[in-house]
Amino acid sequence: MREAMVFVESNTTGTGRIFAERARDLGLVPHLLTADASRYPYLAELDVVGHDCETGSLPAVVAACRSLARTHRVVGVTTSSELYVATAAGAARALDLPGEDPALLAAARSKAVQRQRFAACGVPSPDFRSATSPAEAVAGAERLGLPVVVKPISRSGSIGVRRCDSSEQVAAHTATLLATTADERGRPLQASVLVESYLAGPEFSVEVLDGEVRAVVTKHLDQSRGFLEVGHDVPADVDARTGARLADAALAALAALGLRWGAAHVELRLVDGRPFVVEVNPRLAGGMIPQALLAATGEDLVAELVATAAGRRTVRHPPGRAYASIRFVVPAHDGEVTAVPDPAAALALPGVVTAAVTARPGRAIVRQGTFLDRLGHVIATGRTRREAAERAERAVRELRIDVAPAGDRRPSADSGGGRP
């Protein structure tokens, strides 16, 4: 009887495909439970079996795993999608397989719960108010002091996160969020928002696996519409003392939430040298960060997480000391994609290890200020941070995607490219 690794849904960009590949590398048969297999082209490309399942229901997921266990020995259940971490953990617990406490994961997915626990445990984080109406959000913003950040309670990928500089903006954005009753997978959303003090300072992430800090990452943001991440540098350009402060703050945040198992992507801002935790995401980082870390150090966090979920120990090798930078292609304006480049020219440049275009001609572009705006990416390595960043910025300029403004089929000369 062959051993199987069950994945509950997947992210549609980034590491979803890699999770399946790493399972195979371990000699496991990957199986995906999904409500809509058409979301995942990699299933056909890798010949991965997809099983129809009501993945919003834990009993349905457990039943599907038990059904698969008739023909395979199921050794692990996990996911690459933050939306399903609690469900996957619940199924793993029902089958007596490795995983985090699903109740802790469910609580951690609420940004309001995070703020409450951080405050109770003395973890520095933004001041906040919860609100269930525009008027309540405006009152909260006035108490906190403008500008503020208004965001959904439980979404990810910067979806719905906005800086608001006036009471009118707070009211309008809160109304928009409250009118959105389901997430991108059709799951119901909580009818409340979070209003937070805006932290002015550079942003970083700390990548943690099984309680150990594995990397501190610099994040480059485009805040013209939301908080779109347009690039990352691995490792971060900070001194050892600052890196240690960021790492300690991330571990304190995880301790406040009781999270000890698996991966966590902790986002922080540095204000006058002091780290503040923006939020904890109880999953591996998105935005190609695991791939950049692999390119820079040789450490494969996806492989380690899949092995951990299967109850296997991995042999870690001393990490290398190179540097890697990611830059994303983002559109300069709304419109329609009319032409995309061959990434071969970018791949041919020194230090470039990955170059990809995800946009296709005919795609409608409506910028939202979230990860959904990204049209492609590059990863480049270098002997120094500066060299890696310069190589990535040069390579991303090769991925020029023509976007005709709405109502105009002519391609715009300034479309494409990222803004680090």
pLDDT tens string 222-273: 888 778 899 999 999 999 999 999 999 999 999 999 999 999 999 999 999 9
What band does 40 get if pLDDT is binned at 50, 70 and 90? very high
DSSP per residue, 222-270? ETTTS-EEEEEEES-S--HHHHHHHHHHHHHHHHHHT--SSEEEEEEEE
What span, in angstroms and rounded, lies between the C-alpha atoms of 6 and 337? 36
In the structure encoding, which two tokens stand for residue 377, read together? 């990416």
Check residue 362 and give left, alpha or beta (phi > 0: left; psi -120 to 50: alpha). Answer: left
More confident: 158 or 407: 158
pLDDT of 371 reads 86
* pLDDT value at 420 more than 80: no
Q: Are 183 and 243 in contact (CB under 8 A)?
A: no
What band does 31 get if pLDDT is binned at 50, 70 and 90? very high
What band does 368 get if pLDDT is binned at 50, 70 and 90? confident
pLDDT of 154 reads 75
Q: Give mean pLDDT, residues 309-336.
A: 88
What band does 13 get if pLDDT is binned at 50, 70 and 90? low
What span, in angstroms and rounded, lies between the C-alpha atoms of 402 and 203? 30
**Omega of the bond prior to 41 within 30 degrees of 0, cis?**
no
Alpha-carbon separation of residue 139 from 111, 143, 336 (angstroms): 19, 6, 40
Closest CA to 256 of 85, 109, 108, 130: 108
Q: Are 21 and 32 in contact (CB under 8 A)?
A: no
pLDDT of 192 reads 87
Structural domains in the chain?
A: 3-106 (3.40.50.20), 127-197 (3.30.1490.20), 325-420 (3.90.600)
What span, in angstroms and rounded, lies between the C-alpha atoms of 49 and 380? 33
pLDDT of 419 reads 39
Closest CA to 202 of 257, 271, 249: 271
Q: How does 17-50 read in b/e, with b if 16+ C-beta sit within 10 Å?
A: bbbbbbbeebebbbbbbbeebebbebbeeeebeb
Q: What angle do CA 59, 63, 69 make, to 5 degrees?
A: 145
* pLDDT value at 413 more than 50: no
What band does 412 get if pLDDT is binned at 50, 70 and 90? low
Q: What is the pTM of this model?
A: 0.91
Question: Per this entry, what is the length of the chain?
Answer: 420
SS3 112: helix
Alpha-carbon separation of residue 333 from 79, 110, 224, 404 (angstroms): 34, 32, 12, 9
pLDDT of 414 reads 46
In the structure encoding, which two tokens stand for residue 262, read together? 């698996």
Q: Give mean pLDDT, residues 357-372.
A: 91
Average pLDDT, the chain: 92
What band does 25 get if pLDDT is binned at 50, 70 and 90? very high
* pLDDT value at 156 more than 70: no
* pLDDT value at 409 more than 60: no
**Residue 403, strand partner residues:** 337
DSSP per residue, 350-376? TTEEEEEE---TT-EE---SSGGG--E
pLDDT tens string 289-301: 999 999 999 999 9
pLDDT tens string 178-208: 988 877 667 777 788 999 999 999 999 999 9
